[in-house]
Amino acid sequence: NNHLCLSYDHVTELDYRYVPDQPQIASPIRLVNIDHLTVRSPESNRFLSHIPRLDQIISLTIYIDSKTYTEVELQCLINQMPHLATFSFYTDSLSFMNNAFCYLAHPRIRRLNLRCCHDCFDVERCAALWDSSLGKQCQILCISVEKPIVVHELINNMRNLRALTVEFQGDRLWGANDDKVVYWLHKHLPSACLIKRDSVCTKNIHIWIGSNRNI
């Protein structure tokens, strides 16, 4: 029966990967209760044949470049996810990410994870983020930045931001007692900020931002 489908009701997380060297065979599998979706496919929207409903998804992680999606296609995708709260965006082109964020909008997204394979955010690129619709409403942000001064500007301009995880380009003092990056942040950020380097993934520094954040 060509119309036979196998429904997996208890699967809530999917990491979809496209392997270009393997033949693509039509699958009868349908995943109807996915709420956390990761897409690592250069084939735009190929994964949709397995997920008949996107309206339950609350977290989307997507690995893309400008050859995979246009900004319009990406907006159309997240429009189908009305409950989306967390959006993780991995790309090899920071300029494409910046262009996308000038275009994208979603009323529910509050958490952003932004990573570029070969680049990081400077102040100018961050300006495009905090001026964007998603940037203005963002409360939790994970990002790779060029210098500590970028963190200062992010906290100063993203007024709804409550928690920030940053990785610094060129930070080679991970876990050292004389941590100059953390010292700089303590000196220049508001006293309402709690700053701590991750004890496991030591390249990450976590910053919790209190309500009294005047800089």
Residue 38 lies in a domain: no
1 beta partners: none
Instruction: Considering only residues 49 and 141, tell me which one the structure prediction assigns the higher pLDDT.
Output: 141
Banded model confidence at residue 4, pLDDT cuts 50, 70, 90: very low
Integer Cα distance of 215 and 191 in angstroms: 9
Neighbour count for residue 58 (Cβ, 10 Å): 16
* Residue 118 belongs to domain spanning: 58-162
Residue 141 lies in a domain: yes
Closest C-alpha among 176, 131, 166, 164 to residue 146: 166
pTM given for the model: 0.85
Residue 64 lies in a domain: yes
Is pLDDT at 27 greater than 90 in this prediction? no
Task: Please compute the mean of the pLDDT values over residues 40-48 and round it to a whole number.
Answer: 65
Is pLDDT at 22 greater than 70 in this prediction? no
Q: At which residue do the structure tokens 């005047």 appear?
A: 214
Task: Please compute the mean of the pLDDT values over residues 58-75 and round it to a whole number.
Answer: 84
Note the pLDDT tens digit of each residue in 77-122: 999 999 999 999 988 888 888 888 888 999 999 999 998 777 889 9
Half-sphere exposure of 45 (CA within 13 A, CB side): 12
The pairing of beta strand 111-116 with beta strand 86-91: parallel
Note the pLDDT tens digit of each residue in 157-175: 999 999 999 998 765 544 4
Residue 152 lies in a domain: yes
Integer Cα distance of 152 and 102 in angstroms: 22
Residue 145 lies in a domain: yes
Residue 1 confidence (pLDDT): 40
Residue 78 lies in a domain: yes
Residue 139 confidence (pLDDT): 97
Please tell me the total count of domains within the chain.
Answer: 1
Token couple for 65: 């470049």
